[in-house]
Each structure stands twice: as structure tokens, then as C-alpha cells.
């Protein structure tokens, strides 16, 4: 159960982490976004073009790199949507496959980057992992936060 919760939190945070900069940078833009209640709040942050633009800014991507990153993110999004709509896949398998899709996409993106960009990418991923760990510790099983420490 704890492993399942960690996977769910990881996936949601990965999608959330990829877009917050784009939302803050484009606060004046009121493009039509998917309804948050339609598929959950994380879906509103998954626009591949905005994610690619955010990564382009953070990693100083060239236009051809940004285009390839956007294609990778579009592919990732369609694979995940297909997985969500496939009711024949068990919940545990779905989460595992979702993580595989995301890992594969990250590997493809990293392969497009030059050494300096890879260093920035790796730092971004490390910071994300730190946030995931902090978030995981804040949501201890049973609703307790961080009050139960063994003596």
C-alpha cells in the first residue's frame, strides 16, 4: 500500500513539476485549459507545448531541441492517456507502466541535451526527487504527519 501511494504521488508530482514555471511565466495568458475536474487536477498542467517551452527556457534549448522535446512529451501524454482509458490493466500495473513511460521520456529528453544541459537536467531531477521525499514524509500513513518518532 505504501509503495502504491509513493508511485501515485511520484507520478502526480512529476507532471506537476514539469509545468509550474510555465504557468507562472504565462500568468497573463488565459488559453483554454482542460477542465481540472475532468481527469484530475494534474491534467491541467500537462500541455506538452507549455512543458517544452518551460524546459527550453530552463535548459536553454535550441529550437530543434525544443521541437523534439515537445514531440517526446506529446507521445508521453498520448501513451499515458491510452493507459488511463485501458480498463483491462490492473491498477498496480497501470502505475508501473506509467512510471516506465515517464522514465523512457526522461531518458529520450536527456539524450537530446548537450553536456551542460544534461547537468542542468540532472539538477532539476535531483531537486524534484528531494521535493518528492519531503512530500512523502509530510504524508505519513494514517494521516499522521511527522509526530511518531521511535525512542
pTM above 0.85, yes or no: no
pLDDT for residue 92: 85
Cβ contacts of residue 95 below 8 Å, gap of 6+?
A: 4, 7, 8, 11
How far, in Å, CA of 90 to CA of 36, rounded?
A: 24
pLDDT for residue 59: 96
How far, in Å, CA of 29 to CA of 13, rounded?
A: 23
Q: Where are the alpha helices (DSSP H) in the chain?
A: 2-18, 20-25, 36-39, 48-59, 63-85, 91-112, 115-138
Cβ contacts of residue 139 below 8 Å, gap of 6+?
A: 5, 9, 145
Report which DSSP code applies to 143: G
pLDDT for residue 2: 53
pLDDT for residue 91: 85
Q: What is the pLDDT along the chain (151 residues), one digit of tens a residue?
A: 555 554 555 555 555 454 444 333 333 333 433 333 333 434 445 699 999 999 999 999 999 999 999 999 999 999 999 988 988 988 888 989 998 999 999 999 999 999 999 999 999 989 988 988 888 777 756 544 444 444 4
pLDDT for residue 36: 36
pLDDT for residue 13: 52
Amino acid at each position: 500500500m505504501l509503495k502504491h501511494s509513493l508511485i501515485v504521488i511520484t507520478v502526480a508530482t512529476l507532471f506537476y513539476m514539469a509545468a509550474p514555471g510555465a504557468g507562472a511565466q504565462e500568468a497573463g495568458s488565459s488559453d483554454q485549459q482542460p477542465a481540472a475536474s475532468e481527469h484530475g487536477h494534474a491534467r491541467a498542467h500537462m500541455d506538452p507545448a507549455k512543458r517544452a517551452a518551460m524546459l527550453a527556457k530552463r535548459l536553454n534549448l535550441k529550437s530543434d531541441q525544443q521541437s523534439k522535446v515537445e514531440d517526446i512529451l506529446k507521445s508521453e501524454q498520448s501513451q499515458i492517456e491510452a493507459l488511463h482509458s485501458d480498463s483491462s490493466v490492473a491498477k498496480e500495473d497501470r502505475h508501473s507502466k506509467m512510471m516506465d513511460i515517464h522514465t523512457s521520456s526522461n531518458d529520450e529528453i536527456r539524450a537530446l541535451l548537450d553536456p551542460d544541459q544534461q547537468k542542468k537536467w540532472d539538477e532539476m531531477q535531483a531537486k524534484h526527487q528531494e521535493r518528492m521525499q519531503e512530500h512523502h514524509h509530510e504524508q505519513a500513513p494514517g494521516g499522521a504527519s511527522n509526530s511518531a518518532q521511535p525512542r
